[in-house]
Amino acid sequence: MSYLSELALQYIDGEWRAGSGSWDIVDVDPYTGDKLATITVATVEEVDRAYRAAERAQKEWAATNPYTRRLVFERALRIVEEREPEITAAITAELGGTALKAGFELALTKDMLRESMQLSLRAEGRLLPSPVEGKENRLYRLPVGVVGVISPFNFPLFLALKAVAPALALGNGVVLKPHQETPVVGGTLIAKIFEEAGLPAGLLNVVVTDIAEIGDAFIEHPVPKVISFTGSDRIGRHVATVAASHFKRTVLELGGNSALIVLDDADLDYAVDAAVFSRFAHQGQVCMAANRVLVDRSVEAEFTEKFVAKVASLRVGDPKDPATHIGPLINTVQADVITAQVDQAIAAGARALLRGETNGSLMDPVVLAGLPADAPILQRELFGPVVMVVPFDGEDEAVRIANDTPFGLSGAVHTADVERGVRIAHRIETGMIHVNDGTIADEPLVPFGGEKNSGVGRLNGESTVDAFTTVKWISVQHGRSRFPF
């Protein structure tokens, strides 16, 4: 089936329907500019209908045997496996993902569905002792009720499912609002997969809309108890503020400005490979991407020569071509913004060791060096194929430079001495950091999240259980309590 044309609808209370808003979101291929689909936006009333449907359906779902719930995720996994070619084509068309990127996202998606099968059985209770004679303290792990999920455009299938599937597995209802640039892959495709997998109607709803139509209604609505948001730190700050004013919990997976550190004893060829992947995977549109490559000055010249040569060999072009390494950015506006930031950096004193052209949404890779320490571009998250090479003298300076950013998501350290790498990793202010590897990694059991402006909370494994459940204390007095009056 053609996902992009057939799924250009809202999915509310188990029904596919057109939105009733007064304008349309146009889904565009970022490489060709062709219109893929047109979706009339959902209104505030439809957001309400979606939340109310999830609230109704959730109660019966929460009471369902978790072994029965997990069958839905087994079937969803089979559907994804069976339809990989179609889903790959949708990822390529809607977000400009290369074959490598699509395969990477699908692998992560399948791992998350496998993990969700297990999460259905992982909401375990506890018995705790009491200082009161004869009292038994029971702690029950219960679903929060309904979770609102706002997903991004860069890895829309995986990053939406990363919240949607575990929330459902743990007995919740979900309303998903995908990014308007990827409404199908990040939204209605997921609804279709779960519909075919036998998820009861109403439990998962997808509303394709925009803040211009609904304002903050998605966050402010009284039904959802948790809002899971993945996106920029600017929007994340707003989501957190609005949610907190309504006493809602948030899970915020926000931006990054990761540093990949190359020490004086590193395997330079390996470090080059890790750095190139860490910066240029999916055109650099990855929150964990290595914006900054920090290199010990003693090996700077050798590393930089090899690094620039490898980057120069990357092929830019049609994401449908299996030989393409770098496809289009999500739209021409994003490409123009990144290009302007590069121009500003060069005007302020940076040197371009490698720079090509920007044509529409396609942008050739850029390698900058010689940046002034106060260059604004060093502080930003760059969602494009631009990397900065920064030299340092000694470990202390490497740590200082790596931490000189408002973000703290990921990072990497390359060294021949693993324990030296771990010591430095401890000093870097990030939620995640990897020794002798790239900066881009996500595993279903390991807590994923950042520090500083990179987010609040964690997902994956036990962290996901904490995020999408609540704890209830029920005590039982087997004897008789004594009261003071």
Catalytic residues: 253, 287
**What is the chain's length?**
485
Measured distance CA(385)–CA(402) in Å, rounded: 20
Element (H, E) at 279: helix 268-280
Measured distance CA(24)–CA(186) in Å, rounded: 17
CA atoms within 13 A on the CB side of 216: 15
Measured distance CA(232)–CA(252) in Å, rounded: 9
Measured distance CA(427)–CA(101) in Å, rounded: 31
Measured distance CA(297)–CA(25) in Å, rounded: 49
**Residue of 202, 199, 109, 122 whose CA lies nearest to 161:** 109
In this structure, are residues 107 and 91 in contact, taking their beta carbons and an 8 Å threshold? no
Measured distance CA(291)–CA(409) in Å, rounded: 12
Pairing of strands 386-392, 290-296: parallel
In this structure, are residues 91 and 157 in contact, taking their beta carbons and an 8 Å threshold? yes
Measured distance CA(236)–CA(213) in Å, rounded: 19
Residues 6+ away with beta carbon under 8 Å from 65: none
Measured distance CA(174)–CA(151) in Å, rounded: 13
**Residue of 20, 21, 24, 28 whose CA lies nearest to 4:** 28
Residues 6+ away with beta carbon under 8 Å from 147: 163, 167, 172, 173, 174, 175, 224, 225, 226, 227, 228, 468
Q: Helix axis angle, 418-427 relative to 395-403, nearest 10°?
A: 40
